[in-house]
């Protein structure tokens, strides 16, 4: 249960997850949008496949870099995906694009392996600290990500900003504390989270229920888009 709270925090996550607000926001938006993700699905940068249970896929294929295979079904070098054109009905990729130094090639590959009219569900940070250094290359505003997606043959169906309220500030406080206290001892890390970060999780929820949203300051972009068969139709 504790392990699951790191990807799908729930109530327990308030006390054990230093990234409670970030994970809570992503899970909420993906759970709401994943019913569009069906047929044969490719999860690029799949990690532990935390969103698989929310999708309506008939087949769920995970792809990772060769250097971090994890639970993936296939690996690749970071350039061409190991699939033929139009193999998939949907593609999901979460918190990956910021680690891609060649975003044009990356999105072109996603377009290539998708069938015409196929679905893309993508998330990428806006406000976040540098992570997985040195493989952290970019942050995307809503305007930048929308332009990038549309420029590679997709029509944006829905655009969401995750945690666009004061909870984004509380998440950054906890991110700072985490970076300054994390150790190689899991039990010590859990104790630090409980004593130092859980109070900010709780305060963030309370203050967030009172203060208004701020659409200019948020943690993550979440985009649902559809592949346009005719590239000339891109707007």
Q: Tokens 């309506």 label which residue?
A: 56
* Cα distance between residue 177 and residue 18, in whole Å: 9
Structural domain count, the chain: 1
Strand partners, 227: 154
Q: Model confidence over 122-146: pLDDT tens digits? A: 999 999 999 999 999 999 999 999 9
In a domain, 40, yes or no: yes
Among 8-12, 45-49, 130-134, name the one with the lowest average pLDDT: 8-12
In a domain, 234, yes or no: no
In a domain, 233, yes or no: no
Q: Model confidence over 164-203: pLDDT tens digits? A: 999 999 999 999 999 999 999 999 999 999 999 999 999 9
Query: What pLDDT, on the 0 to 100 scale, is given for residue 232?
Result: 40
In a domain, 148, yes or no: yes
Rounded to two decimals, what is the model's pTM? Answer: 0.93
φ and ψ at 222, to 5 degrees?
-130, 120
In a domain, 235, yes or no: no
In a domain, 147, yes or no: yes
Confidence category of residue 111, pLDDT binned at 50, 70, 90: very high
Domain that holds residue 176: 4-228
Residues whose CB falls within 8 Å of the CB of residue 17, separated by 6 or more in sequence, listed in order: 5, 6, 9, 23, 193, 201
Question: Could you count the other beta carbons within 10 Å of the beta carbon of residue 91?
Answer: 27
The CATH number of the domain where 33 resides is what?
Answer: 3.40.50.150
Q: Is the dihedral of CA 40, 34, 63, 73 positive or negative?
A: negative
């Amino acid at each position: 249960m504790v392990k699951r709270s790191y990807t799908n925090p729930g109530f327990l996550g308030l006390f054990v997850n230093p990234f409670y607000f970030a994970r809570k926001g992503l899970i909420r938006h993906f759970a709401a949008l994943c019913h569009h993700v069906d047929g044969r699905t490719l999860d690029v940068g799949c990690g532990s496949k935390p969103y698989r249970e929310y999708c309506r896929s008939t087949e769920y294929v995970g792809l990772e870099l060769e250097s971090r295979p994890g639970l993936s079904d296939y690996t690749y070098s970071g350039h061409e995906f190991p699939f033929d054109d139009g193999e998939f009905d949907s593609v999901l990729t979460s918190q990956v694009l910021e680690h891609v130094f060649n975003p044009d090639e990356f999105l072109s590959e996603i377009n290539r392996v998708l069938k015409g009219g196929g679905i893309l569900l993508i998330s990428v940070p806006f406000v976040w600290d540098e992570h997985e250094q040195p493989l952290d290359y970019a942050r995307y505003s809503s305007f930048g990500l929308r332009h990038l997606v549309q420029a590679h043959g997709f029509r944006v169906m829905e655009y969401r900003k995750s945690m666009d309220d004061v909870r984004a500030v509380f998440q950054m406080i906890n991110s700072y504390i985490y970076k300054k206290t994390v150790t190689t001892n899991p039990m010590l890390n859990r104790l630090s989270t409980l004593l130092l970060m859980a109070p900010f999780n709780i305060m963030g929820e309370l203050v967030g229920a009172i203060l208004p949203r701020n659409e200019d300051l948020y943690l993550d972009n979440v985009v649902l888009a559809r592949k346009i068969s005719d590239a000339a139709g891109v707007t």
